[in-house]
Amino acid sequence: MLVYWSMFLLPVIALLFPLRCDASVKRLSFLLVGIYLTLLIGFRYEVGADWFTYINYYQMANGQKLLDYLSRFDWSDLGYYVLNWLSASVGGSIYLVNLVCGGIATFGLITFCRKLPLPWLGMAIGVSYYMVVVSMGYTRQSAALGFVMIALSEFSNQRVWRSLIFFILASLFHLSALVMIPIFALSYSGKRRLVVWLIAFGVAIAFMLVFAQRFDVLWQSYVVSGMHSNGGFIRVLMSAMPASLLLVFRKKLLLDEKQPRLWILMAIIALLCVPAVILVSTGVDRLALYLIPLQLFVFSRIHRLFTSSDLRNAVVLLVLFYYGIVLWFWLSYSVYAEYWIPYQFALFQDQVL
């Protein structure tokens, strides 16, 4: 568990013991933490419940032509499978694939957090579940969520077309990221709104038509078969709580936000996921992963609700304590934690995959 706690404690230390330094030192600190997280994610060995499934995906790419390899997966999640094929083609390994996906996930988290009022608080929140559980367990979706975080950061800076490109890249790594494109379109209220809506919805519909078979498989797996996701209800509540705070105190929490409609819409969706997860457990649980940025967004601003500096500091400590408990509880009591513990670093193992 020490490795996972080190991942969490690094941003906590940076938050609690701030140093007055220039922008270059701040960038360097984010870079060093980012490299550390990427290496731990990329060079993990037999960590994650789907480890051997991903090994199989990679081994299937050996000696295969690209089109033949992609045809095995209904042409869905193209970004991830092309990455596997490229790694196999240059004599890489599963670790090269994991390094790239881990780098995307980490860069996405850092890019998003650097725009927050308390960047290192956002990093600590992100590490607690996104880095430890998602990035080390759901490789494809972690990369997709990394691109989503970059897209949200671009959208908040009113770089609409850039954000759409990153949403599309996210969908290429995990088809479920398509859910973010309509949310993005409906949130946009600037110039050429109709054009943005048409393009965004057109992209979403095109993806659905091209990968219709994949959608049928997902529908059968997540809805018809009634798959149950252990802890899904708790994970949905983790986003529903900040969503409620955002809707109640939106004037203070959205005071300096350039795209407030985006976060209001995400908050509403987070609340709708609470009853939905009871009916469609696994499907809603996986889609709700894209609401993790909402947790970072709200809790990095929650101190603004108080005028007293003592109360503000206490709230920040409370948030850190809460996410520390989340990490401890998952590592201690999750039925899947056995696939994460003990953490093994690939360079210390005899077998290279």
Give residue-wise pLDDT tens across range 270-307: 999 998 887 776 678 878 899 999 999 999 999 999 99
Q: Is the dihedral of CA 235, 237, 240, 242 positive or negative?
A: negative
Helical H runs in 43-93? 51-61, 66-71, 78-89
Chain segment 291-349, per-residue pLDDT in tens: 999 999 999 999 999 999 999 999 999 999 999 999 999 999 998 999 999 999 988 77
Query: What's the rounded Cα separation, in Å, for the pair 96 and 204?
Result: 30
Which H or E run includes 120?
A: helix 119-126
Which residues, 6 or more positions from 86, have their beta carbon under 8 angstroms from its beta carbon?
92
Segment holding 237, helix H or strand E: helix 232-248
Place of tokens 């193209």: 78
The string of pLDDT tens digits covering residues 37-88 is 999 999 999 999 999 999 999 999 988 898 888 888 766 788 999 999 999 9
Cα(59)–Cα(273) distance, rounded to whole angstroms? 37
Chain center to CA of 271:
19
Measured between alpha carbons, how far is 133 from 44 in angstroms, rounded to an integer? Answer: 12
- Which residues are CB-neighbours of 278 under 8 A, at least 6 positions away? 233
Does 192 or 253 have the greater pLDDT score?
253
**pTM greater than 0.75:** yes
pLDDT of residue 45: 95
Q: Which residue has the higher pLDDT, 274 or 188?
A: 274
Share in percent of the chain as helix, strand, coil (round to 5): 80, 0, 20
Omega prior to 342 cis, within 30 of 0: yes
The pLDDT tens digits of the residues spanning 98-142 come to: 999 999 999 999 999 999 999 999 999 999 999 999 999 999 999
pLDDT for the residue numbered 351: 53
CA–CA distances in Å: residue 50 to residues 102, 111, 160, 190: 15, 27, 35, 42
At 201 the pLDDT is: 77
Q: Residue 108's pLDDT is what?
A: 97
Environment class of 119 (CB within 10 Å of its CB; exposed 0-12, middle 13-18, buried 19+): buried
